[in-house]
Amino acid sequence: MRLHNLSNVKGAVHRRKRVGCGEGGGHGKTSGRGGKGQTARSGGGIRIGFEGGQMPIFRKLPRRGFNNKNFKTFYETVNVAELSKLDDSVTEVNREVLAAAGLVRLNTNPLKILGEGELSAALEITANKFSASAKEKIEKAGGKAIAVDATEDEPSE
């Protein structure tokens, strides 16, 4: 089968709706836009939440509670399985090494190592956080998991 042999399923292709071509076409006069006014105009339409000048319900209702969304920490994550794909000559792994390998971006987000997969090489890994399973797998392979605080560059084990 080739691309030029393919054909559409029956009913997949529709005729273009020809609006404004007279009353006999079924979409004449107002062309399916109702009467006159803002919604009939090209580029017109009312914004979401507008209630014709009445105070919108989202402004009437009180705002309550606290939302932590603005303060959430986003992590750059790397799984242990991805660390095993690194070059065999690498023994010390940090953000720069992972960025060079294309596993993370060089940005200000903290780095977290997750425990999915297996690790065979003994690596000394420096990151901001480690999951419990990742730390276990790294130490089981003979490596070290060094946690560095996001604000300072000195390691804390």
H-helix segments, 12-62: 57-60
What topology does CATH give the domain 70-156? Answer: Ribosomal Protein L15; Chain: K; domain 2 (3.100.10)
**pLDDT at residue 102 tops 80:** yes
Q: Which of 68, 67, 98, 69 is nearest to 82 (CA)?
A: 98
Rounded to two decimals, the pTM is 0.57
Q: What is the mean pLDDT of residues 49-59?
A: 94
SS3 state at 130: strand
Tokens describing residue 142? 């003979």
User: What's the pLDDT score for residue 25?
Assistant: 84
Of the listed ranges 38-47, 132-141, 143-152, the one predicted with least confidence: 143-152
Q: 3-state SS of 81-97? A: HHHCCCCCCCCEECHHH
SS3 state at 106: coil
| DSSP label of 51 | B
- How far is the first Cα of the chain from the last one, in angstroms, to the nearest whole number? 61
Q: What is the mean pLDDT of residues 10-39?
A: 91
**pLDDT at residue 90 tops 90:** no
Average model confidence (pLDDT) across the chain: 90
User: What's the pLDDT score for residue 74?
Assistant: 92
**pLDDT at residue 152 tops 80:** no
H/E stretch holding 98: helix 95-100
Q: What is the mean pLDDT of residues 109-136?
A: 93
- In whole angstroms, give the CA distance from residue 81 to residue 133: 12
User: What's the pLDDT score for residue 151?
Assistant: 60
Per-domain residue ranges of the chain: 17-65, 70-156
Q: Which residue has the tokens 């090494």?
A: 97
Phi and psi torsions of 149, nearest 5°: -65, 145
Digit-coded pLDDT (tens) for 5-22? 999 999 999 988 899 999
**pLDDT at residue 156 tops 60:** no
Return the half-sphere exposure (C-beta side, CA atoms, 13 A cut-off) of residue 140: 11
